[in-house]
Amino acid sequence: MFTGIIADVAQIVAVTPLGADSSFSGVRVTVQTEHLDLSDVALGDSIAINGACMTVVTLDQDAKTFAVDVSHESLSKTSGLDRVGHVNLEKAMRLSDRLGGHLVSGHVDDVARIVSLTPVGESFELIFAAPVKWRRFLADKGSVTLNGTSLTVNRVWADETKVFGTINLIPHTMAHTVFQYLKAGDAINFEVDLLARYVAQLVDQMPNQLPNQLPNQLPNQLPNSDGANHVQ
């Protein structure tokens, strides 16, 4: 589990195929970090790379590098893990940590796109687009995770095929995340709010259940204005 508060903007420095058939094989991704503290990281630990939870398989404390194996399935559901470039990093949270962002699972739901990234005053307005099936999980002033960053959605709207959201990126966020290197048209990893996901699942599991049960659960005695119970 993660918080969506980025600890470092690092570099993928190598991407090596794990199998002979690149159409179905995963890759080993080597990451070099400058500011992420690796002193408490061990083999098997989880680190989110652009919001995707990955397992550390090699570690070089002196060189400040680590590697993860990214499966073909993960490559098909994410962006930015198959090539050299800048990535957001966050170590898995401890239960004693402050929840500075929101609960982030590190399980990327889809690949969204940046529609625009425009300066507005001292900040930047980012508009993203994702498949419309995710509309029910987004709300004005709700949370979303983009490339592993916990962000607040200012406004949500949709057309027949896509859902759109606007986000305000303050200067600190721009300076300490990969958004400083991104532009309109770029793909970004998209994860809906964990609480919204479970609320939606609960609602789906009880269609028409509540109205049908209510009449049978009403008491046959109702209090009168004098406080006494009278049989109806």
161-216 residue pLDDT tens: 999 999 999 999 999 999 999 999 999 999 999 888 888 888 888 766 555 554 55
For 110-204, CATH number?
A: 2.40.30.20
177-206 as b/e: b if 16+ CB within 10 A: bbbeebeeebebbbbbbbebeeeeeeeeee
Q: In CATH, which of 1.10.3720.10, 2.60.40.10, 2.40.30.20, 3.40.50.2300 is domain 8-91?
A: 2.40.30.20
CA distance 105 to 110: 13
Q: Which amino acid is at 154?
A: N
For the chain, the structural domain boundaries read 8-91, 110-204
Structure tokens of 185? 């048209």
Instruction: Report the predicted TM-score, pTM, of the whole model to 2 decimal places.
Output: 0.85
Q: Do domains 8-91 and 110-204 have the same CATH topology?
A: yes
Residue ranges, the chain, pLDDT below 70: 22, 207-232
pLDDT of the residue at 220: 55
